[in-house]
Amino acid sequence: MNIMIDVKDIDSKATVKVKGEIDAYTAPKLRETLFPLSEQQNVHMVVDLSEVSYMDSTGLGVFVGLFKSVRSHDGEFRLVGLSERLRRLFDITGLADIIDINSNAEGGVK
């Protein structure tokens, strides 16, 4: 399966729109695209997952790594637009208590 990643990085505000499936095959591309942004000092990263149809534990690992990297550089990290299925995945793993998650695309990429 394919993944499409649209990044807008303006003045330490990175908005990311992800489309497709995030799995062992596509996660490396996601990591490769987003990790350089996460290492910017004071970056505000918002990742819109409203068009992600599937995510496995590999995808969760990418987002945990991004969250840690952004926070270690005094930035803010947020996921928006989660489907009920994705939201449940973050709830079950306990990540919803750690990462700022909003099921609505509020604040996401339009």
Q: The domain containing residue 25 runs over which residues? A: 3-102
Supply the pTM of this predicted model. 0.90
Across the chain, which distance is largest between two alpha carbons, in Å?
35
Distance CA 69, CA 24 (A): 20
Domain membership of residue 109 (yes or no) is no
**The pLDDT value given to residue 12:** 86
CATH of the domain at 89: 3.30.750.24
DSSP element (H, E) containing 80: strand 76-80
What pLDDT, in 10s, does the model give residues 73-109? Answer: 999 999 999 999 999 999 999 999 999 998 565 544 4
What pLDDT, in 10s, does the model give residues 6-41? Answer: 999 998 899 999 999 999 999 999 999 999 999 999
Number of domains composing the chain = 1
Distant-in-sequence, close-in-space partners of 23: CB < 8 Å, separation ≥ 6: 1, 54, 55, 56, 58, 59
Domain membership of residue 83 (yes or no) is yes
Domain membership of residue 21 (yes or no) is yes
- Tokens 């609505």 belong to 104
Domain membership of residue 110 (yes or no) is no
Domain membership of residue 107 (yes or no) is no
Does residue 110 or residue 7 have the better pLDDT?
Answer: 7
